Amino acid sequence: MNKKVEVQNLGIKDYKEAWDYQEKLFKDTLDLKIKNRREEQDEPTQNYLLFVEHPHVYTLGKSGDASNLLVSEAELKAKNATFYKINRGGDITYHGPGQIVGYPILDLDNFFTDIHKYLRLLEETVILTLAEYGLKSERSPGETGVWHDVGTPFARKICAMGVRASRWVTMHGFALNVNADLGYFDNIIPCGIKGKAVTSLNVELGKKEIDLDEVQEKLMKHFQELFEAELIQE
């Protein structure tokens, strides 16, 4: 089993470009797994962890409801935002500057074949990272992602998640609000959940801006420990 994970920092990249790149890595891994099975060989598959910031964009998962986007195409253009229907699970979400988006493209045959466990470990990676900033975040029963003050009128989501998997190969991932412009969430019903707010790390800490690189380093540390992986940076 290959537990090495190549970390790639894509910088600020258009959503469609990053999605196409994910699809290429995803397909390459699937093709190798199929070839291994067909030819009875055991060439190791690769694992990746992509980090990226996107320009303003709304994405709707395959089971999502398009009516959860509350603005017209013209209004999207006025806000310099784009919209895509995509092939992950979950409903609608927002990506934009000041948000750390992580796309693990893993062959779970290298780690464990359990999608439920995979999602819980991604959540735990974020929970442990936020704990380093003195914040108590948690899961919300039946709602994927990471939240604050679950079960209270002040419940708010700080990290959204949505993944796709085929033959135990994953793509898509998580979006952690660090210095995000929360006003953009007013244009959607986030994740299709009415009456729940969103928040960002800088808001929770009462600071103008948090160092994105510092947060990413903490995410990588906890990801490596939880997945018992070896992270390799370009």
In this prediction, residue 91 carries a pLDDT of 84
Q: Which residues contact 130 (CB under 8 A, 6 or more apart)?
A: 137, 146, 158, 201
Averaged pLDDT, 109-117: 97
Catalytic residues: 191
* 129 marked ligand binding residue: no
Strands in 92-95's sheet, in edge-to-edge order, are 82-85, 57-60, 92-95
Q: Would you say residue 195 has pLDDT above 70?
A: no
In the chain, the amino acid numbered 167 is R
Phi and psi for 136 in degrees, rounded to 5? -100, 105
Round to whole Å and give the CA distance between 130 and 165: 26
pLDDT category, 191, cuts 50, 70, 90? Answer: low
* Two structure tokens written together for 143: 């709602």
pTM of the model: 0.94
Share the mean pLDDT of the chain: 94
Rounded alpha-carbon distances, angstroms, from residue 84 to 18, 96, 136, 187: 12, 14, 33, 15
Within 10 A of 227 (CB to CB), how many other CB atoms are there?
A: 23
Round to whole Å and give the CA distance between 208 and 179: 8
Q: Would you say residue 118 has pLDDT above 70?
A: yes
* 160 marked ligand binding residue: yes
For the stretch 92-107, pLDDT in tens is 889 999 999 999 999 9
pLDDT category, 220, cuts 50, 70, 90? Answer: very high
Round to whole Å and give the CA distance between 218 and 122: 13
Round to whole Å and give the CA distance between 165 and 167: 7
For the stretch 57-92, pLDDT in tens is 999 988 888 899 999 989 999 999 999 998 887 788
Residue 52 per-residue DSSP state: E
CATH architecture of 4-233: 2-Layer Sandwich (3.30)
* 94 marked ligand binding residue: yes
Q: Would you say residue 193 has pLDDT above 70?
A: no
Rounded alpha-carbon distances, angstroms, from residue 13 to 128, 206, 220: 27, 28, 20
* 83 marked ligand binding residue: no
Averaged pLDDT, 120-141: 97
Round to whole Å and give the CA distance between 95 and 190: 11
